[in-house]
Amino acid sequence: MGIFPKEVDFFETFDRASDNLIHASARLIRLFTQFDRIDERRNEIYELEQAGDTITHEIMRQLNSTFLTPIDREDIYSLASRLDDVLDLIWAATDRVVLYKIQEPLENAVELSNCLQNCTVAVKKAIGYLKAKEYSFVQELCIEINRLENEGDGIFRRALSRLFQSGYSPVFVIQWKEILENLVHATDRCEEIADILEGIVIKYA
């Protein structure tokens, strides 16, 4: 053992976590746009969700065994938790499609999935700029994530309006409402990540 404690590269781990999140959101789009091989696509997203859990546990182990951290420990914990939340919500939406035996896609689900993927891409870029200490770019991306979250809210409201006014069966409405809620909550968690990143920038800029 060395005299000085080893500094863990948490940003490398966050980079893997955000990459995994982007892959999951891309497969979610494929699920809703192609709407075939549903079980296979569900399993792909499940494997990514499990990989995300592994990365989150890795971050927590590193946090518990590391003395030196590049940013506050509370911020590392919060970032890891929110990234995991987004992935869990993607998985929840996917699982409901199979559980409820959904037979056809919903156009608004495609829109919301695209919005969510744009959020995840912006999150990855923002974390990269945070590591590089390019704080102005982090702030710009946080503004973009907030804009995308507002866009997601709008898509969700339009989707609900369409569901309730288009003569769908009550069961169909309830099922899709739950799926869409998981997706819009995922964009909410991305906005929470942006809030955490902005707080870090304020501390270190």
Per-residue pLDDT of the chain (205 residues; tens, 9 = 90+): 444 445 678 999 999 999 999 999 999 999 999 988 999 999 999 999 999 999 999 999 999 888 888 899 999 999 999 999 999 999 999 999 999 999 888 999 999 999 999 999 999 999 999 999 999 999 999 999 999 999 999 999 999 999 998 888 999 999 999 999 999 999 999 999 999 999 999 998 7
Structure tokens of 134?
């390019």
Q: What's the rounded Cα separation, in Å, for the pair 142 and 121?
A: 12
What's the CA gap between 46 and 43, in Å, rounded? 5
Residue 177: CB atoms within 10 A of its CB come to 14
CA distances to 112, 118, 134, 163 from 167, in Å: 22, 31, 51, 8
CATH top-level class for 10-204? mainly alpha
Q: What pTM was estimated for this model as a whole?
A: 0.93
**Location of structure tokens 């995991």:** 84
